[in-house]
Amino acid sequence: MKSFDYVRPATVREAVAAAAEPGAAYLAAGTNLLDLMKAGVTRPNLLVDITHLRDLYHVEDLADGSVRIGALVRNADLAHDRKFARRFPAVAEALLSGASAQLRNAATVGGNLVQRTRCAYFYDVASACNKRSPGAGCDARGGDNRLHAILGWSQSCIATHPSDFCVPLVALDAVVEVDGRAGQREIPLERFHRLPGDAPDHENMLEPGEMIVAVRLPAEAARFAAHGRYLKVRERTSYAFAVVSAGAALRFEAGAIADARLALGGVAMKPWRAREAEQILIGAPAAASLFRRAAETALAEAKPSGDNAFKVELARRVVVRALTLAAAGTPERMPALPGSPFAAVFGVVNHG
């Protein structure tokens, strides 16, 4: 690991002042950053340790009914916050389907949003990667790419964003609050991550030195509490990134779907909101054929980027299953295997 300078600011103002230095990086839990630094993928000159900023550890109810989650709230604390999990069950389920208990105990809300792709060619400094060194080429093209992107990819990058948490968040219209030398501003999560285009090294809308201070869920997001699920297909039962995942949230009125939210994970370099599919669902009663039509629409633009054509049909089926589970209703208790397709839900047919 390359050496670095270290500062531990006491306020957000001090932190953003310190991070204005070229080559600076914010350190929260470090569960992704230290891993990247050990691999030589990320080589900061200065770590700005924000873990001692006590104000960023709170989950607050705001007057307008929205919920503000401080950037340093640990994944496990948010997922096990009973009130939060009751109002946003798909978010809690997504959090608990990610990583391991040890990592969830450390990893933070803000860090989750800015974590890097787990593309093996990005991680391997001996491989060509346009994200790591712009213009170097992409060894993932023509490489082992069965888990790579099927939506929004470009010739220069076919990596995916690994977050589970971001998937239901983007479905529920979360907003990212950031602070920087130019002051505070807000970015809707849907516009926070950037697709690779010809600049895959530009992964999000943060300006140099800006930091995430909170993520906000609007009051509207809690209206889906009775029908919110996250479903995540992995290559092993637990402790693995998504091959494909989906967050689904429905609201029923008089037997018909009054409102619907849908987003996919593991398919693109950003959490993928499927707005057109949502429009198909609204106004109709829940039915397998309806869910299949929504899934077809959600994946209409999907194209394999390598040996991953299977992910297109897998994603459709994950969408159908996630919608089926959401329609059946949020379970009383968090499933033993959160997000798992192997966790049977009473009264729900697992295949169909």
How many residues are given for the chain? 352
- 287 Cβ contact list (under 8 Å, min separation 6): none
Is residue 13 near other proteins by the rule CB under 8 A? yes
Residues 96-125 that bind other proteins (CB under 8 A): 99-103, 105-106
Least gap, CB of 37 to other proteins (angstroms):
8
> What's the half-sphere exposure (Cβ side, CA atoms, 13 Å) at 313?
2
Q: Which CB atom, from 50 or from 249, has the smaller least distance to other proteins?
A: 50
Interface region with other proteins, contact rule CB under 8 A, candidates 22-30, 179-187, 190-198, 321-329: 22-30
Q: Which CB atom, from 51 or from 127, has the smaller least distance to other proteins?
A: 51
Least gap, CB of 281 to other proteins (angstroms):
31
| Torsion angle in degrees (nearest 10) through CA of 111, 169, 12, 162 | 20
Distance (Å, rounded) from C-alpha 274 to C-alpha 179?
Answer: 29
Distance (Å, rounded) from C-alpha 232 to C-alpha 228?
Answer: 14
Residues 176-205 that bind other proteins (CB under 8 A): none
Interface region with other proteins, contact rule CB under 8 A, candidates 27-35, 61-69, 211-219, 262-270: 27-35
- Closest alpha carbon to 328 in 273, 277, 291, 276: 291
Is residue 350 near other proteins by the rule CB under 8 A? no
The β-bridge partners of 67 are 61, 217
DSSP state of 117: P
Among 12, 25, 26, 31, binds other proteins (CB under 8 A): 31
* 280 alpha-carbon distance from chain centroid: 24
Among 239, 256, 285, 313, binds other proteins (CB under 8 A): 239
Which token pair is 19?
């991070």
Which residues contact other proteins (rule: CB under 8 A)?
A: 1, 3-11, 13-14, 17-18, 21, 27, 29-31, 34-35, 38, 47, 49, 51-52, 74, 76, 80, 99-103, 105-106, 237-239, 336-338
